[in-house]
């Protein structure tokens, strides 16, 4: 069962841009909770506490316990709005979770043992993490905080695909049901020369098109 994390909230009575602006000046973050059989509820959270929580992967992928004076609702973070240049969270959206309904969420990938693998030990091999997260479907009780990708056997020329991931029980990747063409690469291991050649080919392929535009002028 996935670990849950408690975050204390308060009900927000005033709404609108002016009220939200005053909350932010007071060190609070306006937010909303929706979904399930209940009506949407406007809430506010302590900015410093939320900011610290937002530095962890679990804040984005785990089930959170929103505690309002002891009344706990299980939710997932569905949207976060940040200030364009300040270290400030502007608004949060949370969705209530029902225990018997399958949910879809984004879960980070954690890569382990890359430095112990044949590819990782080779100086002329470039290991690329093509994906950093995956979209999963599961019941709330089965939602993992992350999915581990063990690269201890990775060799030059290897490609780790979505279908190669070892998923926790009850967890599926909906993307794989769309067909083999959606079985994306997660990790690739190539010789550095191959990587450089591929980049050079890509650059040279753009030259004729660029030249053609100049010739048309």
Give dist(CA 112, CA 100) in Å, integer: 32
Indicate the pLDDT class of residue 70, thresholds 50, 70 and 90: confident
Q: Which of the listed CATH numbers 3.40.630.40, 2.40.240.10, 3.40.109.10, 3.40.50.300 matches domain 5-96?
A: 2.40.240.10
Say what percent of the chain tops pLDDT 90: 60
Q: Give 199-216 pLDDT, tens digit per residue.
A: 555 555 555 554 444 455
Helix residue ranges, H only, 4-130: 17-25, 47-53, 58-61, 118-121
Domain ranges of the chain: 5-96, 103-209
Cite the beta strand spans of 83-208 per DSSP E. Answer: 89-96, 103-112, 125-129, 133-138, 147-150, 159-161, 185-191
Arithmetic mean of pLDDT, 35-58: 90
pLDDT per residue as tens digits for the range 121-174: 888 889 999 999 999 999 998 999 899 999 999 999 999 999 999 999 999 999
Q: What is the pTM assigned to this prediction? A: 0.74
pLDDT of residue 37: 81
Nearest to 63 by CA among 13, 6, 137: 6
Which letter does DSSP use for residue 203 in this model? H
The fold of 103-209 is: RNA Polymerase Alpha Subunit; Chain A, domain 2 (2.170.120)
């Amino acid at each position: 069962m996935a670990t849950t994390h408690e975050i204390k909230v308060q009900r927000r009575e005033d709404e609108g841009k002016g009220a939200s602006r005053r909350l932010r000046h007071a060190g609070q973050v306006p937010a909303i909770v929706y979904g399930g059989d209940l009506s949407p509820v406007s809430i506010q959270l302590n900015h410093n506490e939320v900011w610290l929580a937002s530095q962890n992967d679990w804040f984005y992928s785990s089930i959170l316990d929103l505690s309002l004076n002891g009344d706990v609702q299980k939710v997932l973070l569905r949207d976060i709005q940040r200030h364009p240049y300040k270290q400030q969270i502007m608004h949060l959206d949370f969705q209530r979770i029902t225990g018997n309904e399958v949910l879809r969420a984004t879960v980070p990938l954690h890569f382990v043992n890359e430095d112990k693998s044949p590819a990782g030990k080779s100086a002329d091999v470039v290991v690329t993490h093509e994906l950093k997260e995956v979209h999963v479907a599961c019941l709330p009780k089965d939602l993992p905080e992350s999915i581990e990708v063990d690269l201890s056997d990775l060799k030059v020329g290897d490609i780790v695909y979505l279908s190669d991931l070892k998923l926790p029980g009850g967890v599926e990747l909906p993307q794989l049901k769309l067909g083999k063409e959606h079985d994306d690469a997660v990790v690739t291991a190539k010789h550095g020369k191959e990587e450089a050649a591929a980049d050079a080919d890509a650059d040279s392929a753009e030259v004729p098109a660029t030249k053609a535009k100049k010739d048309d002028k």
